[in-house]
Amino acid sequence: MLLAGKRLLITGITTDDSIAFSAARVAQEQGAEIVVTGFGRAMRLTERAVQRLPTPPPVLELDINEPADVTAVVGDLEQRWGSLDGALHAIAYAPADALGGNFLNTPAESAATAFLTSAFSFKTLAVGVLPLLQKAGGGALVGLDFDNRTAWPAYDWMGVAKSALQSVCRYLARDLGQHQVRVNLVSAGPLRTVAAKSIPGFDHLHDTWAERAPLPWDSSNPEAVAKMICVLLSDWAPLTTGEVIHVDGGFHAISAPPTKGESS
């Protein structure tokens, strides 16, 4: 199995339609042992969701912006396993006034919150678990991204934060390579998760994807994204780091939808 014997930390599970949940399921099916994290009032949702996994894992409290939580999670993993082979960063948040076409009016505090939680937190997680990855002789960190080489309707400061996340990934890859730690992002197409539903204009984005992506895109099924996450967490990508891997049906490679009569 792809992840036999691997011990992984999975963040970001809220409900069973999330990318992180699908990644956790595929990881377990491929032989990994996992611990997941939840946060605040959503902890109950996380605890309920993981009961639907093949083997319900432990759920730890993690507010990524709270240093005490990071220390506690790392301490638990060290006591539980002694080392760690990889982690999925599936953490992002932007206040409502940083989304929805309000770009010019967003206050600095809201933009800063989006950056801190959605981009800087990748560095926070990486630094926290690095000693455990070193004890394993190296490992892999994977984050969830949305391609932001262009500006998207309504995505606003979350788009800026995702662009920052891509830069954070490259710098982490630079600094963690000496520890045999690989750092990559998976850029997913639009999926109908709870988080996506909070983004104004999601339906328009979904319709645009269906028109332009050369491969059929199913916004209700995150499994293809989960499988790529697991490949990057495995030993099958030993020299891949600092990359943004697109799992989007090929949307990113196509400039415009096919014209009428054009063969696909």
CATH number of domain containing 202: 3.40.50.720
Residue 121 above 60 pLDDT?
Answer: yes
Residue 144 above 60 pLDDT?
Answer: yes
Q: Domain limits at 107?
A: 7-247
- Asked whether 191 and 249 are in contact (CB, 8 A), the reply is no
Residue 52 above 80 pLDDT?
Answer: yes
Does a structural domain hold residue 147? yes
Q: What is the pLDDT of residues 53-79, one digit of tens each?
A: 999 999 999 999 999 999 999 999 999
- Asked whether 50 and 56 are in contact (CB, 8 A), the reply is yes
Residue 156 above 70 pLDDT?
Answer: yes
pLDDT at 133: 98
Does a structural domain hold residue 261? no
Q: What is the pTM of this model?
A: 0.93
Does a structural domain hold residue 98? yes
| CA 80 to chain CA mean position, Å | 24
Average pLDDT over residues 125-146: 98
Does a structural domain hold residue 1? no
Number of independent structural domains in the chain: 1
pLDDT at 247: 96
pLDDT at 203: 67
DSSP-assigned beta bridge partners for residue 10: 36, 88
| 46-81: b (≥16 Cβ within 10 Å) or e | beebbeebeeebebbbbbbbeeebbeebbeebeeeb
Average pLDDT over residues 139-143: 98
pLDDT at 192: 74
Lowest mean per-residue pLDDT among 75-84, 88-97, 150-159, 181-190:
150-159
Residue 261 above 60 pLDDT?
Answer: no
Average pLDDT over residues 37-54: 95
Average pLDDT over residues 136-160: 94
Smallest CA-to-CA distance from 152 within 178, 190, 121 is with 190
Does a structural domain hold residue 252? no
- The token duo for 138 is 């190296």
DSSP the chain: -TTTT-EEEE----STTSHHHHHHHHHHHTT-EEEEEE-GGGHHHHHHHGGGSSSPPPEEE--TT-HHHHHHHHHHHHHHTSS--EEEE------GGGSSS-GGG--HHHHHHHHIIIIIHHHHHHHHHHHHHHHTT-EEEEEEE---SS--TTTHHHHHHHHHHHHHHHHHHHHHGGGTEEEEEEEE-----HHHHTSTTHHHHHHHHHHH-SS---TT--HHHHHHHHHHHSTT-TT--S-EEEESTTGGG-SSPPPTT---
Does a structural domain hold residue 2? no
- Name the percent of the chain lying above pLDDT 90: 79
pLDDT at 219: 86
Average pLDDT over residues 143-156: 91
Does a structural domain hold residue 131? yes
Does a structural domain hold residue 254? no
- Asked whether 77 and 34 are in contact (CB, 8 A), the reply is no
Q: What is the pLDDT of residues 185-239, one digit of tens each?
A: 999 988 876 666 666 666 667 678 888 889 998 888 999 999 999 999 999 999 9
Average pLDDT over all residues of the chain: 93
